[in-house]
Amino acid sequence: MRVFCYRPSRPFFEDDGGFSTVGMVLALLISVSLLIGATQVYKLRSVAADVQNVADACALAAEKQVASFYIVAQVCDSAVLSLSVAGLTSIGIGIVAACIPPTQAISVKLVEAGEKILEARTRFSHACIEGLNKLQGLLPVFAALDAAALAQANAGPDSNYYAIAVLTPLEGKELALPEHSEEDALGGIKEQRDNIANAAQSAEEAAQKANEHKRKAFMADCGNNPSYCMYERAGTLAGLSGQSNPHYAHVDTWSFSVALKRSQHYYAQRFSQEAPATDAIEEQARSAIRKRFYAYALEQVNQGYVHESSESFEAFFPLLPRNTEEMRQTNLYTEAAYPLTESADGLRHMHAWPGCPAAQEESSCGFGSVAELETQGLPVCESCGFSASSVGHVASASTSIENGFEYHYQIVAHEAENYEREYEALARQSQQVKGPAESLFESVSQLLKNALDYRIEVCPPGHIGAIAIVVDTSGVSAADIVPNSLVGGQAYLGSRMAISAATLARDDANEADTVISSFLDGFFSDTYLGAIPGAAFDIWSSFLVSYSKGSQALSERIKTVLNSLPLVGASGLGTWASNKFQNTIESAGLAPPDLVSHKPVLVNTYHVAAADQNAFTQGLLGAKQAFSGAYGGIAQDPLSALVGIAGGQLLSSYNAWDATFVIARIELFGEDGPSIPLEITLPPALKEAGGGFIEEAINEWYVRSGQSVELRRWE
């Protein structure tokens, strides 16, 4: 039998542990609704945050205009400094060229070119000051236009941005150049240059004469080798070699001291080597007289000297007697060096040396001189034949003929005397060059130091920073952001506002370097440049391009230019002047200039506003405080008054602005010559729409300033 148990039915419920279909649906609906709601919140906050991103970009754009102004000022400053340096170094090189007769013609052109460059520098620098003052007056307009244009460019379907950017401070420091008078320093350069040139010409002539005497002495000493000369004779007659008898191949490496030392070694060797060639009485007598002559010659040449430096020359080559008459003027004539004897019949005789056979047979009376022999009328010794001519003939034989050492020594001695005389004339003329030239170099050095003060230093609007105020006037509905049927879309996002600030940070100089390096592009080939000596223009252009390297680049460039001149001359004044001028440049201390680039970076608006005391920044600080305490409250927009203050100043500056203007022109030859313009140009579309950008942004702020809004901080 079957038993049935009836269980009543319970809808939507099962006791097997699962969820009901209705519960699942409700859970899913709630989850999806929460997800959509969170998405709406996220989207609303993202849309609200976009205005801050635009504000940041506008602040950076505004401050970038200030960074660009620094680059323009650096270009102007580099051009002014490089023109000063080029003009003064052109004058300096002109002074160097005046010291070298072959380059005295170009010296006039270099000095004139230097003066023209300095005049162009003066005109250009004053034009730069005027142009930069005008430009920095318009800098707030450029910054506002760039920020406003950037805000408009970021507008989209769900946004409509208006931006006001204000530089801090809104006005820059007016530029001015120190006054340095160069007329007194430059006034006498032309006259002194002419005097230097005349003295340099005379010095060159004296040097050439002196060098000719030195050349002749060199040839007599060793230049004529292998023909007869002191070097050849010393080797052949005395067997000298090595350091005792050096050979020089060129007069430039030879000096008079070489000949003097050679003669000292020669006579010392001849004295030690002298001996009779045979046993004949006549030969023994001649040998004794020669040995006495060599002793005398060694004594004399050892008294000689050569004192030579770059500034002076003094030498003494003792002259040896060439004949009997000259012998009578020396110690050979008066010294008691010869044996004196008396015969049995009372006659006195003088002998060449004690070993004379006649002297051995007679009684000795001591020693006597050739002077006693002649004054007392002593008879000639029949054995050795000693007489005054016996002594005089020793020197006469070797000085009268080319194969004698003394022949060539006499040439060197006379040429040394002539060289000293001409060198004294050279020294006098050189001093007439060096004195005035040093004075002019000192003037150039002082003017170079003054040029370091003749610089353009700027403190423009916005050097503290830039503040951007951006409003997004578009309204956004939550339903439009995330369309759905599960979450109500009545929420509405109204106008949004954000502020941001930027300042300048120092960066590498690459950008400024590039701008300066390209400053002269297209100008180097100008046909007018033929009027400038290549050296002057080369210094200017190369120093401008390598401006960041300072005195190192300048010194290298000047050295290259100087090396292209024929500095080597007989007087040596070219080399002296070149070294002197290079030392002048180095002592001037042209340190590398500060070519650092300025890059805009974001900072807190408080830091920018607090660094400048003016109505706008103080009002902004007050507005930040008002906003910070206005969460959930109702307040009138405290920024509207600030926008009115800034907008009025910007529109006033904008209306006086021309889209293109020239800051300055470099005119090396006045208005009739070529010129390099330095101009600022804004795209015409930005000029035409710029005023509209500013006015529209101001109007939008005024429209919203009349509305009562709920102020909320976005976090």
**Are 205 and 270 members of one domain?**
yes
Say whether both 591 and 683 belong to one domain. Answer: yes
The reported pLDDT for the residue numbered 81 is 80
Choose among 394, 393, 401, 399: nearest CA to 413: 399
Same domain? 237 vs 383:
yes
Higher local confidence (pLDDT), 1 or 500: 500
DSSP designation for 156: B
* Same domain assignment for residues 382 and 518: no
Same domain for 223 and 164? no
Task: Label residue 10 by pLDDT band (50, 70, 90).
Answer: low
To the nearest whole percent, how much of the chain has pLDDT over 90?
22
Burial class (CB in 10 A: 0-12, 13-18, 19+), 380: middle
* 570 and 645 fall within a common domain: yes
Q: What is the pLDDT of residue 107?
A: 83
Residues linked to residue 496 through DSSP beta bridges, in sequence order: 472
Tell me if the pTM is above 0.85: no
The whole-number pLDDT of residue 292 equals 93
User: Does the pLDDT of residue 579 top 50, yes or no?
Assistant: yes
383 and 515 in a single domain? The answer is no
- Nearest C-alpha neighbor of 548 from the set 597, 598, 599: 597
Comparing 101-110, 488-497, 530-539, the range with the smallest average pLDDT is 530-539
pLDDT value of residue 231: 96
Residues 162 and 242 in one domain: no
Q: Does 27 reside within a domain?
A: yes
Average pLDDT (9-26) is 58
Do 595 and 647 fall into the same domain? yes
Task: Indicate whether 294 belongs to any domain.
Answer: yes
The owner of tokens 């008002």 is 626
What is the phi/psi pair of residue 13, to 5°?
-140, 130
Q: How many domains does the chain have?
A: 2
What pLDDT does residue 426 have?
87
Q: What is the DSSP letter of 545?
A: H
pLDDT one-digit tens code per residue, 436-493: 888 888 888 888 877 777 778 888 888 889 888 888 777 665 555 555 554 555 555 5
Whether 9 maps to a domain, the answer reads no
> Which carries the bigger pLDDT value, residue 345 or residue 706?
345
In this prediction, residue 124 carries a pLDDT of 83
pLDDT of res. 33: 60
- Residues 251 and 109 grouped into a single domain: no
The confidence score (pLDDT) of residue 672 equals: 59
Residue 44's CB is within 10 A of a number of other CB atoms, namely: 18
Cα(660)–Cα(524) distance, integer angstroms: 25
**Region class of 637: left (phi > 0), else alpha (psi between -120 and 50), else beta:** beta
Residue 214's domain comprises: 195-338+368-432
Asked, for residue 497, whether it belongs to a domain, the answer is yes
| Beta-bridge mates of residue 314 | 307
Identity of the highest mean pLDDT range in 129-138, 183-192, 374-383, 672-681: 374-383
Q: What is the pLDDT of residue 546?
A: 57
Is the pLDDT confidence value at 13 over 60? no
User: Binning pLDDT at 50, 70 and 90, where does residue 550 land?
Assistant: low
What pLDDT, on the 0 to 100 scale, is given for residue 47? 63
Q: Identify the domain boundary among 401, 432, 463.
A: 432
- Compute the average pLDDT of residues 657-676: 60
pLDDT of residue 674 exceeding 70:
no
pLDDT (average), residues 184-211: 82
Residues 226 and 323 in one domain: yes
Span 417-428, mean pLDDT? 91
More confident call, 510 vs 216: 216
89 in any annotated domain = yes
Least confident of 435-444, 476-485, 614-623, 672-681: 476-485
Instruction: Please check the confidence at residue 508 and state whether its pLDDT lies above 90.
Output: no
- Whether the CB-CB separation of 132 and 456 falls below 8 Å is answered with yes
Whether 636 is covered by a domain: the verdict is yes
Mean predicted lDDT score pLDDT of the chain:
77
User: What average pLDDT does the segment 87-97 reach?
Assistant: 85
Strand order in the sheet with 363-368: 348-350, 338-342, 363-368
Residue 356 resides in a domain? no
- pLDDT, greater one: 675 or 358: 358
Angle 249-250-252 from CA coordinates, rounded to 5° = 145
More confident residue, 552 or 252: 252
The confidence score (pLDDT) of residue 561 equals 74
Of 651, 389, 482, 591, the C-alpha closest to 47 is 482
Q: Output 32 or 473, whichever has higher pLDDT.
A: 473
Can you give the length of the chain in residues?
Answer: 715
| Judgement on whether residues 410 and 544 belong to the same structural domain of the protein | no
Position with higher pLDDT, 162 vs 34: 162
Q: How confident is the model at residue 632 (pLDDT cuts 50, 70, 90)?
A: very low
- Cβ atoms of 467 and 607 within 8 Å: the answer is no
Distance CA 682, CA 173 (A): 23
Q: Is the residue at 353 inside a domain?
A: no
| Spatial separation of the C-alpha atoms in residues 28 and 13, rounded to whole Å | 19
Report how far Cα 34 is from the mean position of its chain's Cα atoms: 73
